[in-house]
A = this chain, B = another copy of it.
Amino acid sequence: MPSASVIPLKPMLFNPQAQVCADCGIRRFSLFGVLDHQALDNIHVHIADLHLQPGQSLYSAQGQGSAAFTVRTGVVRLERSNDRGERRILRLAGRSDMLGMEAMLGQSYAADAVACTEVTVCRLPRTLIDELSRNQPDLLLDMMKRWQRALDDADEWLTELCAGPARHRMLRLMLKLSEFSDGDQVWLPSRLEMGAMLDMTIETASRLVSQLKREGVLDTPDQRHVRIHMDALMKALREDADGA
């Protein structure tokens, strides 16, 4: 037994990877959240930390996937081209969301993942799942919950953002964006991105944003950020639901 003077408050972690994960700000929301320090120490695969600039691609559809990812900061969009060659944004991933999990099943990626803002992610190599099923089978259940969460997100995106008149879809988008806020500022997509999310033209998106600014629902300190006045937004959503 080591002398008391050198025992740290937390158990010492000999695996440097474990130390990084232990200190990670979002660990309690992430896959490893349920692991204690000791268990963390037993993870042997290399978990890399990636940093992306807006517009940079995290992975591409059809690419043979070699890793899944956990978003630590920023917003990532999942997109796909349909048969007419138009790009469609399927959904957004933010802090603590996991994407590209299909790679862990040996499948190719199902969509493109592109950074919308500055983004930091953890890269979880494909082999992690093998290690988990051997050493931490409990985490497989957690993985399933991640899948279910992705499915829930997809379903919600479809019901809320893909139906009804353009104005209503835009209002719902603002509500959705507010979920990705850090502080009172929220990332504001380009008009092109809005179009790809809501299936409308950039002109319509622009008109709607301008309109909401005039109504005092939004204001835009700069081109890529927006302050959303939630009370006004909610009021608009209500009026719009039963008013039409």
The residues of B that contact A172 with a CB separation of less than 8 Å are 83
Q: Any chain B CB within 8 A of the CB of A64?
A: no
Instruction: Choose one: B90, B104, B163, B241; the contact of A88 (CB below 8 Å).
Output: B163
On whether the beta carbons of B143 and A144 are closer than 8 Å, the reply is yes
The residues of B that contact A78 with a CB separation of less than 8 Å are 155
Interface set, chain A 60-92, CB cutoff 8 A to B: 78, 80-86, 88, 90
The answer for the CA separation of A170 and B243 in the assembled complex, in Å, is 29
A contact patch SS: helix
On whether the beta carbons of A160 and B83 are closer than 8 Å, the reply is yes
Known contacts A82-B163, A159-B90, A164-B84; A141/B151 CB under 8 A:
no
CB-based nearest B residue for A237: B83
Give the number of residues in A that approach B within 8 Å (Cβ atoms). 44
Q: Mark A82-115, 1 if CB is under 8 A from B, else 0.
A: 1111101010000000000110110100110000
Q: Any chain B CB within 8 A of the CB of A202?
A: no
Q: Any chain B CB within 8 A of the CB of A145?
A: yes
The residues of B that contact A105 with a CB separation of less than 8 Å are 141, 144-145, 148
Q: List the interface of chain A (C-beta within 8 A of B).
A: 78, 80-86, 88, 90, 101-102, 104-105, 107, 110-111, 129, 133, 137, 140-141, 143-145, 147-148, 150-152, 154-155, 157-160, 162-164, 168, 172, 199, 237, 241
The 3 closest A-B CB pairs, nearest first, are A147-B147, A154-B154, A162-B162
6 contacts between A and B (CB under 8 A): A83-B241, A85-B241, A86-B164, A107-B148, A158-B158, A163-B199
